[in-house]
Chain A
Amino acid sequence: QQQVKQSPQSLIVQKGGISIINCAYENTAFDYFPWYQQFPGKGPALLIAIRPDVSEKKEGRFTISFNKSAKQFSLHIMDSQPGDSATYFCAASGDAGNMLTFGGGTRLMVKP
């Protein structure tokens, strides 16, 4: 019940396109859903996060869509750029973000 399932494992998008990464969870006690970006040799860095009281949150080119009834959430990257090429992780937590359960990651490549 602690799992967070992420798809796809890898994604190739043309520059200017939309990148979409999906996550699903089982634990209904989860109430905090962040997305992290990780470059090779670096630690994960928080991109954007959402709580289940809203269905969508947008920050710049990054948008989280949240479907509480389906227990799914997704990250949309608009106007994808080569600099966005990285590994993206969704995560979830039920205790104000302390013990995050991460998805397996999506390796994104944006082709120029």
Chain B
Amino acid sequence: DTGVSQDPRHKITKRGQNVTFRCDPISEHNRLYWYRQTLGQGPEFLTYFQNEAQLEKSRLLSDRFSAERPKGSFSTLEIQRTEQGDSAMYLCASSSGQGGSPLHFGNGTRLTVT
């Protein structure tokens, strides 16, 4: 169990550019979650997957945000046409999916939009 891995740890981009983040969950976990955390705030739920199925995506912040988990293993979160307000920490978490199983968070990708 190497934990949830996120790449890159830091990303600096210019406004208007597209960015993609990757998350590798704990290997036996079939649920994968994306959260966003702005400075001084608690994480905010964005979306989650059960295997390759995206079960909830209504909380994605705008249509510029999209997530995929094509083979039910790793996941990507893409932000198109980035804006300065997108600057935040993007956290990925995974769980076994059994009732009340805890979420294990990665250390996040910090995005700075200049």
Contact = CB atoms under 8 A, between A and B. Distances in A.
Interface of A: 4, 6, 32, 34, 36, 41-46, 49, 51, 89, 91, 96-105
21 contacts: A32-B100, A36-B105, A42-B107, A43-B91, A43-B93, A43-B106, A44-B91, A46-B102, A89-B43, A96-B100, A97-B95, A97-B101, A98-B33, A98-B55, A98-B56, A100-B43, A100-B45, A102-B42, A103-B42, A104-B40, A104-B42
Nearest to A9: B40
Nearest to B93: A43
B42 A43 contact: no
Contacts of A49: 100, 102
Interface of B: 4, 31, 33, 35, 40-45, 48, 55-56, 59, 91, 93, 95, 99-108
Contacts of B91: 43-44
B29 to A, nearest CB: 13
A96 B102 CA distance: 10
Contact of B108 (A43, A45, A100): A43
Contacts of B105: 36, 43-45
Given A43-B91, A97-B103, A105 B108 contact: no
B94 to A, nearest CB: 11
Given A43-B4, A98-B33, A98-B56, A34 B102 contact: yes
Contact of B59 (A45, A46, A99, A105): A99
Contacts of B101: 97
- Of listed B33, B42, B104, B107, residue having the most chain A CB within 10 A: B42
